[in-house]
Structure 1
Amino acid sequence: MKPTSSSIALLACGGTLDKDYNPLTGELVFSQSCLAEMLQQANHQLNIRLETLMLKDSLEMTEQDRETLYQACLTSTESAIIVTHGTDTMTDSAEYLLARTEHLKTKTIVLTGAMRPFKLSQSDAMFNLGSACLAVQLAQPGIYITMNGQLFTAGQVKKNRQLGIFSD
């Protein structure tokens, strides 16, 4: 087990976690990240720097978006980094970062998200964010995904769309 970090970067990319219901259109949309509200509600005692990189559905993420995420991780002064991301292509972004591990070798990067928006009831968003906060402090440097209370190594995890969970 590694010692806890003094500071954590929390990078928002969007995904279901940050979506909200628009009562006029009936659609799930982005207005702003929910992460500040989630952190306040959690009453955490961590030193977290929050940065919104983008608010996108992960199905709309491009290679340029993944490069933006990589550059943010690379230039982050924090070695502990949490990325909130849509679940549909979270594994793709984790593998994109994994392919560049030689430049990120001193960083612990944990991607997480939600199957249901934080703003809607019965969301897994708070549980997954809490899991990511703990995982980023305890895991060795590397690229990980945490969902459903489990920590997975990037490249060794997939989304089971029938069950709505991640597994190795």
Structure 2
Amino acid sequence: MHPKDPKLTLLVTGGTLDKDYQTTTGALVFSETHLPAMLRQANTTLAVETRVLMLKDSLEMTDLDRDEIAQACQDADTESIVITHGTDTMVDTALALSENANLCNKTIVLTGAMRPFRLGESDACFNLGAALTAAQLAQNGVYIAMNGELFEACRVMKNRQKGVFELTV
């Protein structure tokens, strides 16, 4: 199977994936995105245009933030888009994007991590790799790539007890 387009847009919004440990307070904070380091570590040959929209915990995400994300998707000159996002409200953002008629000609895949990349033993790189591949191969639509699975935006939920994403009925 051949990818749709050799270029891909990567939109950064924050979430656990990009958090770092603040040594003096012990808090998880944002300092910068870790996506360039993750892409270097993966030795990707894919042409990725990375754009940082915000570095936010998804619990602080607002409708205005979702509008900004939708506009960035619409403005992207690529058909394939990956969005890094916090897992707590990832489904909300995916649903909002899937309801936007201006995005029907794009393949948008949201992904994140349950543990920060910088802390090690993280699912961040695995989920990012899955999302990058899915954005190139899936049909147009909005998806979530987590836990080695690709879910349609309207058929997924985060199971907080298990710490995974699951298919909804």
TM-score by length of structure 1 reads 0.97
- 4+ aligned runs moved over 4 Å, structure 1: none
Secondary structure of the corresponding residue to residue 118 of structure 2: coil
In the other structure, the counterpart of 1:31 is: 31
Aligned partners of 2:4 and 2:44: how far apart in 1?
A: 14
In the other structure, the counterpart of 2:113 is: 114
Compute the displacement of 1:5 (Å): 1.6
Secondary structure of the corresponding residue to residue 117 of structure 2: coil
In the other structure, the counterpart of 2:143 is: 144
Percent pairwise identity: 56
In the other structure, the counterpart of 1:47 is: 47
For the aligned residues, what is the CA RMSD?
Answer: 0.9
TM-score by length of structure 2 reads 0.97
Aligned partners of 1:43 and 1:2: how far apart in 2?
A: 20
Aligned length, in residue pairs: 167
After superposition, the C-alpha distances for 1:23-82 in whole angstroms (9 at most, x for unaligned) are: 100000000000001001110110000000000000000000000000000111011000
Aligned partners of 2:12 and 2:79: how far apart in 1?
A: 16
In the other structure, the counterpart of 2:166 is: 167
Q: Which runs of 5+ in 2 are unaligned?
A: none
Compute the displacement of 1:2 (Å): 6.2
Secondary structure of the corresponding residue to residue 119 of structure 1: helix
Aligned-partner residue type, residue 122 of structure 2: S
Compute the displacement of 1:3 (Å): 3.4
